Amino acid sequence: MQIYLPIAEVSVNAFLLLGLGGLVGVLSGMFGVGGGFLMTPLLFFIGIPPAVAVATEANQIVASSFSGVLAHFKRKTVDLRMGTVLLIGGLIGAALGVVVFNYLKAQGQVDLLVKLCYVVFLGVIGGLMFFESLRAIRNTKKGAPPKRKKHNWIHGLPFKMRFRVSGLYISVIPPLVVGVAVGILAAIMGVGGGFIMVPAMIYLLGMPTKVVVGTSLFQIIFVTAFTTMLHATTNYTVDVVLAVLLLVGGVIGAQIGTRIGVKMKAEQLRILLALMVLAVCGKLALDLLLQPSELYSLGAAGGH
């Protein structure tokens, strides 16, 4: 069944979109990630204009994060204070990101920027995750307990603040910086940034793992909602029909994914996720490295 998307102005198969939403939903349910970093490139592949894909995906992440954060609120695993600090950084970052996005869109380089961001981040994170889980699998075979650093240079910074839920007394600068960085990425890449935020919160801020996911979801909702509004009012690129189709598929997929995820071991899951991230990264990198079959591309005029 073909459906005409009013903002993207292309006609696509509705079942293809439901299927994509479902597939990414299964994966996000299995691995506990938002899935935006997979969905946005997939939307590029099926011919949704990149600007629409990025803006619409931000809207979809609001929904999946909202669904997730409710569960975390019930378990009281959201650090509202830390979340708010990250959020302030995130909003500044998102505003900067949209400015950069619009500037590059006018220059005709937005596709390049989005794809480069993806290749770099997916490559780095996929690689790190792959080796980390390989090591973890080897360690569990040997039976060595994983170590964690307690003190580093971050604890020497000024403007300290107490974060009771996380059990931390640290400077507000590092969470602000993390927030800004993730906000910029959210605006440019159309992702929630969970896959960058979560490692940063654990390894840089030293937050306990149990509050990390809930807190990151809490702030992602607001950052992506803000990004959606910015894209909707400055670029007119949020396609609500596309978002709804992806959402419906995603919700059903996530439920299936969660059940599969329960039956698998954490290290196996992480290796699979790492391989998948690397595969998407590889495909995007090839697009940049190989000579495209069509050297020319069309764009709206008036970019000066």
Partner 1 sequence: MRALILALALLTALPAMAEEVVLGLSSDQVSINTSFDGSEILIFGAVKREEAIVDEPRLQVIITVSGPSEPITVRRKEKRFGIWVNTDALEIDSAPSFYAVSTSTLLGLSLSETEDVRHRVSIPRAIRSVDAPDTISDSESFTEALIRIKSKSNQYQLNEGTISVDEQTLFRTAIELPAALTEGDYQTRIFLTRGGAVVSQYETSIFVRKVGLERWLFTLSRENAFLYGLMSLAIAIAAGWGASAVFSAFRR
Candidates 3, 16, 96, 269: give the one binding partner 1 (CB under 8 A). Answer: 3
* Residue span 34-63 as binding mask against partner 1, x where in contact by CB under 8 A, dash where not: -------------------------xx-xx
Burial of residue 202, with CB atoms counted within 10 A of its CB: 0-12 exposed, 13-18 middle, 19 or more buried? middle
**Does residue 25 contact residue 259 with C-beta atoms inside 8 Å?**
no
SS3 of residue 219 by DSSP: helix
In the complex, minimum distance from the CB of residue 87 to partner 1, in angstroms, rounded to a whole number: 16
SS3 of residue 208 by DSSP: coil
For residues 84 and 258, which CB has a smaller minimum distance to partner 1 in the complex?
A: 258
Candidates 6, 103, 161, 264: give the one binding partner 1 (CB under 8 A). Answer: 6
Residues 217, 70, 179: CA angle, nearest 5 degrees: 15
Candidates 41, 228, 245, 281: give the one binding partner 1 (CB under 8 A). Answer: 228
Contact status: 251 vs partner 1 (CB under 8 A): yes
Q: What sign has the CA pseudo-torsion 186, 243, 214, 196?
A: negative
For residues 163 and 218, which CB has a smaller minimum distance to partner 1 in the complex?
A: 218
Contact status: 10 vs partner 1 (CB under 8 A): yes
In the complex, minimum distance from the CB of residue 91 to partner 1, in angstroms, rounded to a whole number: 15
* Residue span 277-296 as binding mask against partner 1, x where in contact by CB under 8 A, dash where not: -----------xxxxx-xxx
Candidates 67, 84, 102, 140: give the one binding partner 1 (CB under 8 A). Answer: 67
SS3 of residue 169 by DSSP: strand
How distant, in Å, are the alpha carbons of 49, 63, 128, 140, 152 from that of 145? 48, 37, 19, 8, 21
SS3 of residue 22 by DSSP: helix
**Which amino acid is it at 146?**
P
- Tell me how far apart the alpha carbons of residues 94 and 156 are, in angstroms, rounded to a whole number: 28
Contact status: 262 vs partner 1 (CB under 8 A): no
Contact status: 2 vs partner 1 (CB under 8 A): yes
Candidates 138, 236, 264, 265: give the one binding partner 1 (CB under 8 A). Answer: 236
| Binding residues among 75-134 for partner 1 as defined by CB under 8 A | 108-109, 111-112, 116
How is residue 154 annotated by DSSP? G
Burial of residue 102, with CB atoms counted within 10 A of its CB: 0-12 exposed, 13-18 middle, 19 or more buried? middle
Chain residues binding partner 1 by CB under 8 A are 1-4, 6-7, 9-11, 59-60, 62-68, 70-71, 108-109, 111-112, 116, 225, 228-229, 232-233, 236, 238, 240-241, 243-244, 247-248, 251, 254-255, 288-292, 294-303
